[in-house]
Structure 1
Amino acid sequence: MKTNLVLTGLTGCGKTTLGRQLSKMLNMGFIDTDEDIVELYGPINHLFEKGETYFRDIESRRVKILSQHSNTVISTGGGVILRPSNMEALKKDGLVFYLTRPVEEIMATADPSERPLLKDGVQALARLHRDRKPLYLKYCDHVVQSSDIERALSEIIARWNQRS
């Protein structure tokens, strides 16, 4: 049986918010891969200044380590799906949820200064969504619309409790 609950999706779709609540509701640990990286390496926007590949290499190293936890909700960075090795590690012991939320909602609520990939506006985020959606769908076990937090929590918990 899978012991980790993994949240994927675009930046700003609610992975961290839902992850924290799920960990409390399910009495599980919580890890946010971006927060882990910031704690160890500094702000993500500074890491991106050295290039996206530099950041993705760090992210992959951390995902490999963090995915070995058990009984943990893991909130991932939006680009974690770009490397198959990340998703193989996360899926090994994790049930993967793809959180979806309209791009316009994300832009209305997210702070671009904290999210490097939002600095170029709604068109860039829409392009990112279009490019990444096939990967999110490829690797997820379940798709959950995350605009309504309470509904998303209920759906994720129901699917988590049905896992085999």
Structure 2
Amino acid sequence: MKNNIIIIGMPGSGKTTFGKILAEELNIKFFDMDEYIQEKTGKTTMQLFENGEEYFRDIETETCKELMGYNDILISTGGGVIKRKINIDILKNGGTIIFLDRPVDKILEDVDVSYRPLLKDGKEKLLKLYDERIELYNEYAEEKVINDSDISVVIDRIKEIIKNNENVNIM
């Protein structure tokens, strides 16, 4: 049974914010994949990226495997987890993937690029990443939720998907 919920989406889409709230409301454990990696390695994402993006992506793939060893959890992935199909295969095997799609103009309004390694070159990079990744998010997601409203409305949308998804037996 695929009892885990995995949230994918662009940096700044709200994955961690919504993940924490949902996990609390569903009374399940929450993992922010980037925070998990930082705790595991003792290094920030920025520090890990200093060794190259591939180095970070290798750690990310191992983390996908580790987290799928749990049941009844909610995971907020890093925005680039979709760059490796193996990550998606691992995650789909143990959970249902929900794409939290926030309009890029809304992300641009409030994203802080200073602590996001792939956005350190400025907000123009976010537009480029969006263009590069949007197709993958849509392809890999089993469900999609638009983050274009109040938090409570979006939470309700996600909970409705979880409730109606026969592969998730959490609610």
TM-score interval, normalised by the smaller of the two chains: over 0.9
Partner amino acid, structure 2, of 1:141: E
Encode CA deviations 1:66-115: one digit per residue, 9 max, x unaligned. 12211000100000011111111111121111111122322332222211
User: Distance in 1 between the 2:11 and 2:93 partners?
Assistant: 23
2:31 corresponding residue in structure 1: 31
Quick check: 1:45–1:114 contact (8 Å CA) kept in 2? Answer: yes
The 3-state SS of whatever aligns with 2:96 is strand
Larger mean Cα displacement after TM superposition, 51-60 or 110-119: 110-119
2:169 corresponding residue in structure 1: none
**How do residues 7-156 of structure 1 correspond to structure 2 at under 5 angstroms?**
7-41=7-41, 42-148=43-149, 149-156=151-158
2:12 paired with 1:5:
no
How many residue pairs get aligned? The number is: 164
Following TM superposition, by how much is the alpha carbon of 1:122 offset from its aligned partner in structure 2, in angstroms?
Answer: 2.6
Quick check: 1:33–1:74 contact (8 Å CA) kept in 2? Answer: yes
Partner amino acid, structure 2, of 1:25: E
Consecutive unaligned residues of structure 1, counting only runs of 5 or more, are: none
Following TM superposition, by how much is the alpha carbon of 1:5 offset from its aligned partner in structure 2, in angstroms?
Answer: 0.8
The 3-state SS of whatever aligns with 2:75 is strand
User: Distance in 2 between the 1:10 and 1:155 partners?
Assistant: 18
- Given the two structures, how large is their TM-score scaled by the length of structure 1? 0.95
Could you list the runs of 4 or more consecutive aligned residues of structure 1 that deviate by over 3 angstroms after TM superposition?
none
| CA RMSD after TM alignment | 1.2
- Given the two structures, how large is their TM-score scaled by the length of structure 2? 0.91
Larger mean Cα displacement after TM superposition, 3-12 or 104-113: 104-113
The 3-state SS of whatever aligns with 2:130 is helix
Consecutive unaligned residues of structure 2, counting only runs of 5 or more, are: 167-171
The 3-state SS of whatever aligns with 2:30 is strand
Quick check: 1:104–1:122 contact (8 Å CA) kept in 2? Answer: no
